[in-house]
Chains A and B, each alone.
Chain A
Amino acid sequence: MLSRRSFLTSAAVSLCLPAMGRASEEGLRLAFIPQENPDKLLGDIQAISTWLSEAIGVPVSGFVTFDHAAAVEALRNGDADISFMGALPFVLAEAEIGAVPLLSEVYRGAPSYSGRIFVRRDSGIKTLADLKGRDIAFADPISESGYLYPMDLFVQDGLVASVDQADRFFGNKFFAGGYQQAMQAMASGLVDAAGASQYADLLLTPAQQSEVTWIAESEQIPSHVVIARSGLDADVQARFVAAMLSLNTPENQHLLGYLYGPDGYVTANVSDYDGVRETAKRYGFLK
């Protein structure tokens, strides 16, 4: 199962933007990225916050941000202590505001995944070079698996000199607004290819899934990460991490369903993101 977060940022949702007070000393505030069902997310946040409060011994509350960027802003302003985040926005938040990685999500046994270039099986497109002059949809410009890494495949193959030269290679390059939208655009024939997470084809209908394939795959990308703002109390941070790791136990696993449904969590290391930092630098996201 894939993380729903990135592609959901643009799903048709009405955002709930509660008044965000500054993180107070008596509590831990979590920032959540919106998903397709805002009411369910609010219920999930309530459930997991209640559990975390008991597990950590401090009041925990959560709120939904507009998107990744707003979550980073909340961390910077002290409106949030902890946030759920993609690897690319994390390294940007790390560089700008000193955010630290705490936990990585595990999907299908690994705390990493890849980006792929998908095409319709009947398109006759076999290689990246075949996409010259053709149309492609990516998910979102600030997305590691939905843009940066799939795009990098074209650069590595020497087809595109740099990202800002991409328009010379493709007929049209679109940002569809999310994995699902990019994949639908490809599967329904609006574009020739889609760049998205390796699991994004699972967002298509079962019939569509059997009609698409992928022609290139990126290196592994660290999976989505739970990050803390700079200066968060070390003891609270440690207790939060311990509680989150206890979600891996059989008796607590059902609670993962309240947190975007990963298979579990592992401790994140700063060095896990070296590759993302390096790629982000090459593409001008980081200095």
Chain B
Amino acid sequence: MNRFLTVLAMTLVPAMAGATAIEQAPWAPAAAAYRLTVFLGNLTPVPWSKIEESWEAPVAGASVAQSALSRLTPSQQTAVRAALTSGNRQTVFAAATTVIYQKTLDGLAAAAATLGTAEAAGNVARAQAQFRAFEDGIKAADPAGYRTLGRAWLVLNSAVGTKGVLGTGALEADAERFAAARATIETYLTVNYAPAEFAERRTLSPIPEAAILDGRVVDLPASLPPGSNIAHQAELPRLILQFEEAGIDEVDLPLVAYGDMLFDSPQIFGGPARDLGFACSTCHNRSDVNRDFFIPGLSHRAGGMDVDGAFFNPLFNDRTDDHLDTPSLRGIRFTGPYGRDGREASLRRFTRNVIVTEFAGKEPSPFQLDALVAYMRAFDFLPNPQIDRTGVLTDIASESAMRGEVLFNTPFDGLNGLACASCHTPDRNFRDGQTYDIGTAEPAFEGGTPTSFETPTLRNINFSAPYMHDGSLPTLASVVTWFNDSKSLELDAEQRADLTAYLEAVGDGVEPYHVFEGKESAFRLAFDELTTFASTLNTLLPARDAVNIAILVDTVAPDLAADAGTMTNLAARPEVYRMAETLRAVGDAVESGDWDRAQTYWDSFQRMQAEFDARMF
């Protein structure tokens, strides 16, 4: 199941919650720059140019396309610019925090000055939009303070009154209540976000100064900066599982079904990945690629990120900002070695590498790796009637593509006498299982040996742009141009167009995206997948496998409840919540060692599933 399904109806959600990835509401530009500063400032090495950009240029995830600096006073601009040139994290943090503090207070002052007019409510909203930048820090460190401030904002919004419509329904402003609530907020912020000097922070965060000074342990939930998109994908790739196409139900393949669940489970990862709801499917969506995935500071462009940076697993940080394009996993059983640099011949070992080293998970058990690999090995390519079983174009391919096929098989001096087809071997799924240095990466030091990259398959590549290991080329035509220029192939424009047409013919696939109609809703797809995952309890309960049952329940129960908000048939939501609670009860019973009760709850879940089935859309 893909986690983006949980966000279809969400546009205005304030933060990340639990393990379910959701989309953030747009941020005020300065608040966005502050949040980016905090996130990027915690990376090692600190990406200073990106922090500067966060202030100097409009950022994704902001409510208006204006730079944060352009919305500051001249003195604030000077202060932020001076801090940015200092190269000191603490200095930049202090300047950024001060700006948000001041803008919050400025908004409150403007609201007070306009009290009794239609502008007052807008000014309160502007102040609150700045305050939002600190909110999760206050909530985590000081729940009582968070409540006090939250109620103060409610008072402010209520006390501004309204002019009504043409005077009808007008409510008088309550200046006294407004002033008291304003004072509450200002006092708190002055103490916690405008100290004479900020205490030194090992990790930048919006945690209030008082909590830093008294050294309390604060469990601040992990968050991603504005402009991040890990949840939403415009088009859902069509997943082709071999056994399904052959008529076998996943419910009858418990190892595969369990692997499918693990592929969608944040529980196998550790640290921020788990807390943010990352799963394998977050990037490798339905065996293909989440082309819209983007995290500022970690991604150079959508559809990939630096997987060995400071954020997910500091231990594995290579201190190099090296974005990798997420590869499609379609036909993965044919496409070893694995990793863009082909570091692992074994899919199993590479999967372990992703879980443990990239995303800080615990060592997976042999059973878990068996399950994940069994599931992934079922990923098939999209059918493509333009090529036959040996990778040769069929009659339905265009004439241009046919001419391109000849070029593809023609040796070139610029390729050391080889042809494109020498490595992208048509009868081996257009790859050869080797790694090469084709000049796409520079060595780490002068005279050093550059990284080589594995030959990627060309099957279904029409749907996995951008291209090359770092996603640096946006289109297949640009790939052809790159080879033509860098390898001196001397192809004219028509030949390049033919070669591109050939790549597009080879890279095509039937029905690449999932189409939902009527009751075949996004929720229905999620429901079928989640209940399939749950069906592995038929194997795990008799086996008394408490560890894997816990992972299953922690993954499926919250997802089932979270997905209910995407139902077309909203009236049936309570039934989904009942199912989620019943599954949770299975987990609780197993945890307490009461296997009979667990079985009873599981039986109850299955009865509910059968009873509710027709309403689940």
- CB-based contact A207/B125 at 8 Å: no
If the complex has contacts A14-B126, A15-B122, A205-B20, are A190 and B151 also in contact, measured as CB distance less than 8 A?
yes
- Docked pose: A73 CA to B163 CA in angstroms: 12
Among listed B21-29, B38-46, B408-416, B474-482, interface-contacting one: B21-29
Output the residue of A12, A68, A213 with the most chain B CB within 10 A. Answer: A12
- CB-based contact A38/B64 at 8 Å: yes
A61 located at the interface, meaning its Cβ lies under 8 Å from any Cβ of chain B in the complex: no
If the complex has contacts A11-B125, A93-B165, A177-B124, are A202 and B64 also in contact, measured as CB distance less than 8 A?
no
- CB-based contact B563/A206 at 8 Å: yes
- CB-based contact A202/B562 at 8 Å: no
B593 located at the interface, meaning its Cβ lies under 8 Å from any Cβ of chain A in the complex: no
Nearest to A96 among chain B residues (CB) is: B166
- CB-based contact A142/B169 at 8 Å: yes
- Docked pose: A206 CA to B12 CA in angstroms: 12
Report B558 CB to chain A, min CB distance, Å. 7
Nearest to A70 among chain B residues (CB) is: B118
B424 located at the interface, meaning its Cβ lies under 8 Å from any Cβ of chain A in the complex: no
Among listed A150-158, A178-186, A234-242, interface-contacting one: A178-186
If the complex has contacts A37-B63, A209-B564, are A10 and B162 also in contact, measured as CB distance less than 8 A?
no
B598 located at the interface, meaning its Cβ lies under 8 Å from any Cβ of chain A in the complex: no
B150 located at the interface, meaning its Cβ lies under 8 Å from any Cβ of chain A in the complex: yes
Output the residue of A37, A68, A108, A177 with the most chain B CB within 10 A. Answer: A177
- CB-based contact A36/B121 at 8 Å: no
Nearest to B58 among chain A residues (CB) is: A39
B118-159 CB contact bits vs A (8 Å, 1 = yes)?
100110111011001000000000000001001100110110
Report A18 CB to chain B, min CB distance, Å. 14
- CB-based contact A36/B11 at 8 Å: yes
Residue total for A at the interface (Cβ-Cβ under 8 A): 60
Output the residue of B22, B155, B169, B570 with the most chain A CB within 10 A. Answer: B169
If the complex has contacts A10-B121, A180-B12, A206-B561, are A137 and B26 also in contact, measured as CB distance less than 8 A?
no
B9 located at the interface, meaning its Cβ lies under 8 Å from any Cβ of chain A in the complex: yes
- CB-based contact B6/A10 at 8 Å: no
If the complex has contacts A92-B169, A141-B169, are A12 and B125 also in contact, measured as CB distance less than 8 A?
yes
B171 located at the interface, meaning its Cβ lies under 8 Å from any Cβ of chain A in the complex: yes
Question: Which residues of B pack against A, CB within 8 Å?
Answer: 6, 9-15, 17-18, 20, 22, 25-26, 28, 63-65, 118, 121-122, 124-126, 128-129, 132, 147, 150-151, 154-155, 157-158, 162-166, 168-169, 171, 558, 561-565, 568, 570, 573-574, 577, 580
Add 15 more A-B contacts to A10-B122, A173-B158, A189-B147 (CB < 8 A): A39-B65, A69-B163, A73-B166, A108-B570, A141-B162, A176-B158, A190-B151, A191-B151, A205-B20, A206-B562, A208-B17, A209-B561, A209-B562, A210-B580, A285-B169
Cβ contacts A to B, 13 pairs, < 8 Å: A8-B12, A12-B128, A36-B26, A39-B63, A39-B64, A69-B118, A69-B163, A185-B154, A188-B150, A190-B151, A191-B151, A199-B570, A285-B169
